[in-house]
């Protein structure tokens, strides 16, 4: 895209994202009454609650935004979540009518407790501070 003066626009207005080529063109644009606001890049569909609470229809805990952020920062967890087996199991559990029962079923099938899925669950709990590095509960 080009600047309003016809030159190639190297920069973007932080408010409306219109391109400009120089400080002079930006000043002229700004003084012209740029009113448009920049749209947020991501708008969550569902806002997570500030505190954990139990849903009445299932024994589920909803994570807070802070807890979700802790999990997003965990690089080991990010790598584990790329595993197709883990993703398939998570999708099956999430689409189940009884998610807690489906989770228990998957965990009970792992006799040794060493499956990739179990390791992923342990890493989630560690990132939230519910397990220490030795795998012992901190609750």
In terms of domains, do 37 and 68 share one? no
In terms of domains, do 69 and 136 share one? yes
Contacts 24+ apart (CB under 8 A), 27-33: 28/4, 29/4
In terms of domains, do 66 and 33 share one? no
3-state SS class at 65: helix
C-alpha dihedral (73, 58, 107, 97), degrees to nearest 10 = -100
pTM: 0.51
In terms of domains, do 25 and 52 share one? no
Residues sharing a CB contact under 8 Å with residue 122, sequence separation 6 or more, in sequence order = 131, 135
pLDDT tens-digit readout, 102-123: 888 888 887 777 788 888 988 9
pLDDT tens-digit readout, 33-81: 876 654 555 454 444 333 334 444 444 567 788 888 888 899 999 999 9
Least Cα distance to 124 among 79, 93, 94 occurs for 79
**Domain residues for 74?**
44-139
Task: For residues 124-136, give the mean pLDDT.
Answer: 84
In terms of domains, do 70 and 24 share one? no
In terms of domains, do 137 and 117 share one? yes
In terms of domains, do 85 and 59 share one? yes
In terms of domains, do 37 and 59 share one? no
In terms of domains, do 97 and 62 share one? yes
For the chain, the domain total comes to 2
Task: Report phi then psi at 131, rounded to 5.
Answer: -130, 145
In terms of domains, do 54 and 20 share one? no
């Amino acid at each position: 895209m080009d600047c309003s003066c016809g030159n190639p626009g190297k920069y973007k207005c932080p408010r409306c994202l219109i391109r400009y080529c120089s400080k002079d063109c930006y000043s002229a644009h700004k003084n012209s009454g740029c009113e448009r606001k920049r749209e947020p890049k991501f708008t969550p569909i569902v806002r997570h609650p500030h505190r954990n609470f139990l849903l009445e229809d299932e024994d589920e805990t909803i994570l807070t935004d802070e807890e979700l952020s802790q999990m997003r920062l965990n690089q080991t967890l990010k790598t584990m979540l790329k595993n197709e087996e883990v993703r398939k199991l998570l999708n099956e559990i999430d689409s189940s009518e009884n998610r807690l029962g489906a989770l228990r079923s998957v965990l009970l099938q792992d006799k040794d407790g060493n499956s990739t899925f179990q390791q992923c669950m342990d890493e989630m709990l560690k990132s939230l501070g519910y397990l220490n590095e030795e795998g012992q509960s901190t609750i």
